[in-house]
Amino acid sequence: MKITHNKIGKNLNITDTTNIQSAQKSKAPKSSDIATQSKKETPGSFQISSQGRLFSQAKEVAEKTPEINREKVERLKQLYRDGKYQVDSEVLADKMLKEELDLAQAIS
């Protein structure tokens, strides 16, 4: 039994728990089900989820990534601020093309 409104119209949401308790008892796992589940799992074993594997791969990539050379970054920033930073467009284009080709090869 569930009462949803009182005379004023406010929700009371009162539930008769006798039906819920009997339903919960019928949903409780049987001892034979528990025994079957425990046979499937070996003590001390575990499985890593796909999300866990992705996290592990990302961590490996991050660990292989070289550290930032802060001195070089500051030197380049200063050159840029002074208007002395020159980019060789051919070298840049060659590096971009190489990256794309390497990526395409890795995918295929």
In a domain, 43, yes or no: no
Let me know how many helices (H) and strands (E) the chain has, helices first: 5, 2
Contact by Cβ (8 Å): 37, 25: no
Nearest to residue 19, comparing CAs of 44, 45, 6, 1? 1
Structure tokens at 36: 């079957």
Range of the domain at 58: 2-37+48-107
In a domain, 102, yes or no: yes
Q: What is the pLDDT of residue 2?
A: 47
8-state DSSP, 43? T
Residue-by-residue pLDDT tens, the chain, 108 positions: 445 544 544 444 444 555 555 545 555 555 555 444 544 556 777 788 888 889 999 999 888 888 889 999 999 999 999 999 999 999 999 999 999 999 999 888
Does the model's pTM come out above 0.85? no
Cα gap 81→73, rounded to integer Å: 12
Indicate the number of domains in the chain.
1
> Cβ contacts of residue 61 below 8 Å, gap of 6+?
none
In a domain, 29, yes or no: yes
In a domain, 42, yes or no: no
Contact by Cβ (8 Å): 4, 11: yes
